[in-house]
Amino acid sequence: MNFQVELTSEVSDFILSLPVKFQAKIQRTINLLCEFGYSLPEPHSKKIKSAHKIYELRIKLGSDICRLFYFHWKGTIYVITSGYIKKTDKLDKREIEKAEKIKLLFED
């Protein structure tokens, strides 16, 4: 089954601000999400334990780690809400909260 992935304008701008090699690796990971959807395994995707039905795409290039947050919207559609370059081992709670707020906007 093929899934559709939508990007918010914020995450599109974020991805375009990254180096071309990182953009290419992100696109490959998004393509995996389109192909496998909710069954995309680690290390590519992981559920955020502290968030309600929010997942992260995990992309690594060299020592840089990019996190893109997403959720299942409806049918075969996933929405990638936001992203950031991870500097520490812990996830940024503000980024998770931002993803949850965007998810609520889609659900209304």
For 11-24, write each residue's pLDDT tens digit: 999 999 999 999 99
Tell whether the model's pLDDT for residue 5 goes beyond 90.
Answer: yes
Model pLDDT, residue 83: 95
Model pLDDT, residue 78: 96
The answer to whether 71 and 78 are in contact (CB under 8 A) is yes
- Cα–Cα dist 41/35, whole Å: 12
Model pLDDT, residue 31: 97
The helix or strand, by DSSP H or E, that contains position 10, with its residue range, turns out to be helix 9-16
* Concatenated DSSP letters of 44-93: TEEE-TTSSS-EEEEEEETTEEEEEEEEEEETTEEEEEEEEEE-SSS--H
CATH for 31: 3.30.2310.20
Residue span of the structural domain in which 22 resides: 4-107
pTM metric for this prediction: 0.91
Report the domain count for the chain: 1
The CB density around residue 102, as the number of other CB atoms within 10 Å, is: 21
What confidence tens digit (pLDDT) does each residue in 30-41 have? 999 999 998 999
What confidence tens digit (pLDDT) does each residue in 81-108 have? 999 998 777 788 898 999 999 999 988 7
